[in-house]
Structure formats: structure tokens, C-alpha cells
Amino acid sequence: MRLINKQTRSLVTFFSLLLFSTGSFAYNAPALTSNDPAFVIQTTLDQITTFSSNSDKINPVQLRSFIENKIIPHFDFNNMSHWITGRYADNMTEQDKADFQRNLRETFLSSLSKHLGSFDAKNTRVQLFPARYRGPAEAFVSTSVYRPDNMPVRLDFRMRRDDNDWKIIDVKANGSSAVLYYRQHFISQLRQYQKPYQTAYQRP
């Protein structure tokens, strides 16, 4: 329970990052080009800023449409599903995998819809750092989030190149992974894909 609560708080911290106003940003990274993974994070935050400035006039349908069209495409749900399902994927059909990925995407979208607009970002400052590369197709983009009433929070976006674009495959808040959070969230559903001998072996 303590692990799940910690990861839930971390995920909420991640959602809150998506709500900060432009005036709150403090970039110490050099000017970014479109092929830089940090560019994806910065431009997404800018889009959210523009949208959030009129959030009091946005109805739920518009909010969902914005998230689905402007935020969701920056996440690689195929890769995220692979890491979340782990060994259970060996016993899943292609249809099972497609259904799980669709369920993950909908859960993620619903969570963003719920949290968008629920944080006060006037006194928040975000520092964006240059991307760190692990080979030509994987990178990490970090941010530090500062609030006067809280300790700083470090957010690490793990990203993977998808053709000419960079997509997010995980995000950690002070070391707690969103992918691990969702693995805990879906664990009861995933256990149905255990082989019979695995279930018997794990039974007391």
C-alpha cells in the first residue's frame, strides 16, 4: 500500500507539471531544435499553457479533445504497454495486447482530463535541462520543479526515437516511475494471464 501511495503521489506530481504557466518556466538549456528530445517537452508545455489560459471557458469535450490531440501523441503506448505487461505478455494474444494498450491509453487520458486545471501554478518555477543520450535512439530529459511550499521535485522523462520524432516511454518523479505505477494499477488484470503452473507455484 505504501508503494502504491508513493507512486500515486508521483504520478499526480507529473500531471501537475503539465499545468504550469509560461511565466513560471526558467529554462537553463540552450536554444532547442526540432530534433532535440527536450524540444518535445518544451513545446508540449507551451501548448498546454496556451490552452490552460482559457481553461475556464473549456468544456469537458474540448478538454478531452485537446489532451487526445496534443498530449497523448507524445507518448509511446506500445512501448509502455510492453514494459507494463512484462512476462505476462508471453501468454497474451495479439488481441489481448491491443485491448490492454487501449485500456492503458484510456486510463491515462482520463487521469489527465481529471487533473488538468486542478493545480495552482502561479508560484511554480520549472527548470528544463539539456537532453542526455543513451545511444542514438534513447534519451532522458530532466526538469526540476520548484514551489515555495514544497521541496524541489525532479522529473525525468525517458524518451525513445520514433522515426524522426521523440516519444515519452516513462516519466519518473523523484525516482518513482509512472510505468511501475501502472503495473501496480493493472496487476490484478494481468495475473489472469499467468500459466496454471505459475499460479500453483505462487499459491501458499
Using CA atoms, how far apart are residues 98 and 54, in angstroms rounded to an integer?
35
2-192 CATH: 3.10.450.710
Residue 77: pLDDT over 70:
yes
Q: What is the pLDDT of residues 97-138, one digit of tens each?
A: 999 999 999 998 888 877 665 545 556 677 889 999 999 999
Residue 139: pLDDT over 90:
yes
Q: Give the total residue count for the chain.
A: 204
Are residues 29 and 144 in contact, defined by beta-carbon separation less than 8 angstroms?
A: no
Residue 4: pLDDT over 50:
no
Residue 24: pLDDT over 80:
no
pLDDT for the residue numbered 128: 86
Which three cell numbers mark 8? 500515486
Mean pLDDT of 28-35: 70
105 vs 10: which has the higher pLDDT: 105
Residue 45: pLDDT over 80:
no
Mean pLDDT of 40-55: 75
- Report the candidate in 97, 98, 99, 108 with the shortest Cα–Cα distance to residue 178: 108
Residue 51: pLDDT over 50:
yes
Residue 40: pLDDT over 80:
yes
